[in-house]
Structure 1
Amino acid sequence: MSDSIWGPVTVFTGDLRPLPPEGQMTGMYKTRCDSPVFCGPEGLEGDRQGDRRVHGGPDKAVHLYPATHYVRLTELMPSAQVPLVPGVLGENLSVAGLDQAEVCIGDVFALGDARLQVTQPRRPCWKISHRLGVDQASRLVAEHGLTGWYFRVLQTGQIAPDANLTLQERPAPGMTLARLWAVEQAHRPAVEEMRRLAAAEGLAAQWAQRLSNRADWLERNG
């Protein structure tokens, strides 16, 4: 990367609310934080997730969604029923100028007093379609690689509004999230590529196991 500091970062948290039309509980409705918020081992104070099977936990403690993705989402989904602006997809952090093509698996960033490590992309779920009122929204996010990503918390601490995100360590150079997502979406990805990505330091254990299992299957089945 040519620059290792990005900001200011907008911080969002939210409690659970029913998601129309069926009323499933979700934590996608976020409010911008205008005062410092504490980042603990499982995320930001005051933030909740509706389905802990697929959101939250140590490897998905904090979600960042690149602010610039919303320009592309607006082009792809002109019929969206809500404004496509930072915070609407339920992210905790929003920043411009940084996306999956630049960020690598295992990257460690400082944000305020906290230290965060990139663990995995966010797999878009059906709740995105319901939130935006666009039937194919989740599929479009996946197909165009507009996923954002999750962090684990290496060091807890306060995050002030409009803090900067500073890259501190890169244990897996070249192993970008875009590269990982391309393998995730491919019908028959190269086994060698899957093994390299699975071994990347910092990758969430579930993703590493998934990649290894899929590589094993492809080797056995030609």
Structure 2
Amino acid sequence: MSLPAPTPLLAVLRGAVRPYTRPGTFSAIDKRPAPGVVQVTVTGLVGDAQGDLRVHGGVDKAVHHYPYDHYPAWRSALPGRILLDGPGAFGENLSTLGWTEDTVCLGDVVQVGSAEFEVSQARQPCWKLDDRFDAPRVAARVQATGRTGWYYRVRRPGEISAGDPMRIVARPYPEWPLRRLLELLFQRTLDRPLLEAAATLPLPAGWLKLVHARLRTASVESWAQRLDGPAGADDAG
């Protein structure tokens, strides 16, 4: 699989944790473009935050990239949403045109500014997208379309800013575009040869646990809590 051409950063975005839509819930999904130079550490962008560190953030999900390429399709699917007028609607940290889940592979090493990233996993969308867009089953539609975006580990901290070119400088797993991982996760869920191949990859611990559980039980884990979310404070995540 050939490398996509370098692409400039359209925006670098950060957000603060705030109370969210359901009782007892918090989120930093409302991310806004950051002016000037932004520092990047092994846990993400300085000045950025995550509302629930059990399922967001950490070294394997330090930085979230969402293709601006997908926005026209979402404007058609979700008309009239002001959120879709510019980057940040999906809680992303990085926005570009030209790279998608079809052209980016697991393990790709990306240079931008003085920082270096590694593609660690695709996104598993959650109910907070439904509430953000005030529309039912947005997370399920993100999942079904494969327009999920992806996460990076930070291999080398540094500085980035809007306009910096992003370049893929190494591709150790060219046979594993993110689209293939997403098919395994959400469509070809019990394809044993595919699961066995995925079990050899440098996936985050949670993904490897999922893969091994499917191989062991020949069954698929429930997605209900992730897609439907909590009903109240006692269930808040």
Could you state the TM-score of these two structures normalised by the residue count of structure 2?
0.86
Alpha-carbon distance in structure 1 between the residues aligned to 2:82 and 2:163: 28
The equivalent residue for 1:5 is 6
Pairwise CA RMSD of aligned residues?
A: 1.9
Alpha-carbon distance in structure 1 between the residues aligned to 2:65 and 2:194: 25
Contact 1:81 1:133 in 2 (8 A): no
Q: CA deviation at 1:42?
A: 0.2
The equivalent residue for 1:58 is 59
Q: CA deviation at 1:70?
A: 1.2
**Structure 2: which 5+ runs fail to align?**
220-237
Percent identity between the aligned chains? 33
**Structure 1: which 5+ runs fail to align?**
none
Is 1:112 the counterpart of 2:110? The answer is no
Contact 1:13 1:31 in 2 (8 A): yes
Aligned partner letter, 2:209: Q
Query: SS at 2:66's partner residue?
Result: strand
Q: 1:130 to 1:50 in 2, by over 3 A?
A: same
Q: CA deviation at 1:6?
A: 1.3
Query: SS at 2:208's partner residue?
Result: helix
Q: 1:106 to 1:188 in 2, by over 3 A?
A: closer
Aligned partner letter, 2:163: D
Aligned partner letter, 1:99: T
Q: CA deviation at 1:29?
A: 1.0
Alpha-carbon distance in structure 1 between the residues aligned to 2:82 and 2:174: 39
Contact 1:104 1:118 in 2 (8 A): yes
Q: CA deviation at 1:14?
A: 1.1
Range moving further from structure 2, 170-179 or 81-90: 81-90
Query: SS at 1:68's partner residue?
Result: helix
The equivalent residue for 2:42 is 41
Aligned partner letter, 2:172: P
The equivalent residue for 2:79 is 78
The equivalent residue for 1:204 is 204
The equivalent residue for 2:161 is 160
Could you state the TM-score of these two structures normalised by the residue count of structure 1?
0.91
Q: CA deviation at 1:85?
A: 3.0
